[in-house]
Amino acid sequence: MSLDSHIERVLWTPDQIATRVFDLAAQISADLSPFSEPPAPALVGVATGAFLFLADLARQIPLPVTVDFIRAESYGSGTQSNGFPTISFDLKLDVTGRHVVLVEDIVDTGTTIAHLIAHMESKGASSVSVCTFLDKPSRRKVDFQLLSKGKFYRGFECPDYFVVGYGMDFAERYRNLPYIGVLKPELYKTLLTFSFSSNLFALSRL
Ligand code: 5GP
Ligand code: MG
Ligand code: MG
């Protein structure tokens, strides 16, 4: 069965995504261009959700930058985080003295990004900006502060739906959709009523 049939509606098409990424890259390039002396600014993608966004963004920033990934997990299941993120895979890059742009798929409660900003600060980044493709301000619980003269860039404000695609998953699926869509609620509601093991069984049949 096609993945498209699991989607209730499309919020942003590939063309709309491309146009917005182009504009964000132009803004970030303008803001980073004064920092041409080494060490180069770092684009830090938050794995796995930011992988497509980071790839699209980085290709349109014509400046010397470094690229790395970090992984933060909050061991919640389904569509909610449990509010306690941990860094399960850290940077390879030394960010001491670098301007860091954290590249995220979506900022929801703000818990994960607040934790990552603090982590970059503890590693000696000279500023920390955030570039998130989607932002759900209506669900914010943590009022995070950017470091130094860091900026907040966002692609689109997202209504309070659980969205998938363009890197974002439900149970590790749908990341490869080239658009952002709303998953049919019956798909995750049904699945979440099962226990963990039968949940996996149900997913394997999708
Ligand atoms: P926060 O810590 O801000 O509550 O959540 C951040 C993470 O939760 C995001 O990076 C993303 O992985 C996940 N998340 C939040 N909202 C959504 C959503 O609507 N769809 C998907 N697929 N993931 C989400
Ligand atoms: Mg994320
Ligand atoms: Mg996820």
Distant-in-sequence, close-in-space partners of 49: CB < 8 Å, separation ≥ 6: 104, 105, 106, 167, 168, 169, 175
Considering the chain, what is the average pLDDT of its residues? 90
Which of 118, 181, 177, 126 lies closest to 150, judged by CA?
A: 126
Question: Averaged over 175-188, what is the pLDDT?
Answer: 92
**Which residue among 74, 105, 187 has the greatest number of ligand 1 atoms within 8 angstroms of its CB, and so is best to mutate?**
105
29 in a structural domain: yes
pTM of the model as a whole: 0.91
Q: Beta strands of the chain (E only): which ranges?
A: 7-12, 42-47, 66-73, 86-89, 99-107, 127-135, 152-157, 163-164, 180-183
Which of 160, 140, 131, 136 lies closest to 20, judged by CA?
A: 131
- What's the CA gap between 85 and 108, in Å, rounded? 13
For the segment 5-37, what is each residue's pLDDT rounded down to a tens digit?
999 999 999 999 999 999 999 999 999 999 888
24 in a structural domain: yes
CATH of the domain at 57: 3.40.50.2020
The phi-psi region of residue 110 (left if phi > 0; otherwise alpha if psi is between -120 and 50; otherwise beta) is left
Task: For 135, list phi and psi in degrees, rounded to 5.
Answer: -135, 130
93 in a structural domain: yes
C-alpha of residue 30 to centroid of ligand 1, in Å? 28
- Residue 195 predicted with pLDDT over 60: no
- What's the CA gap between 146 and 132, in Å, rounded? 13
C-alpha of residue 142 to centroid of ligand 1, in Å? 14
Q: Which of 6-10, 32-36, 52-56, 200-204 is least confident?
A: 200-204
Q: How many domains does the chain have?
A: 1
Q: Is 108 among the catalytic positions?
A: yes
Pocket around ligand 1 at a 6 A CB cut-off: 49, 81, 104-113, 162-164, 168-170
7 in a structural domain: no
Angle (deg, nearest 10), helices 185-192 and 196-204: 140
* Helix ranges restricted to H, 86-181: 111-122
141 in a structural domain: yes
Return the pLDDT at 69.
98
Map residue 55 onto helix, strand or coil. Answer: helix
What is the residue range of 63's domain? 13-161
> What's the token pair of residue 84?
């306690």
- What's the CA gap between 119 and 91, in Å, rounded? 10
174 in a structural domain: no
127 in a structural domain: yes
Which carries the bigger pLDDT value, residue 60 or residue 198? 60
What residues have their beta carbon closer than 5 A to ion ligand 3?
Answer: 169
47 in a structural domain: yes
C-alpha of residue 106 to centroid of ligand 2, in Å? 6
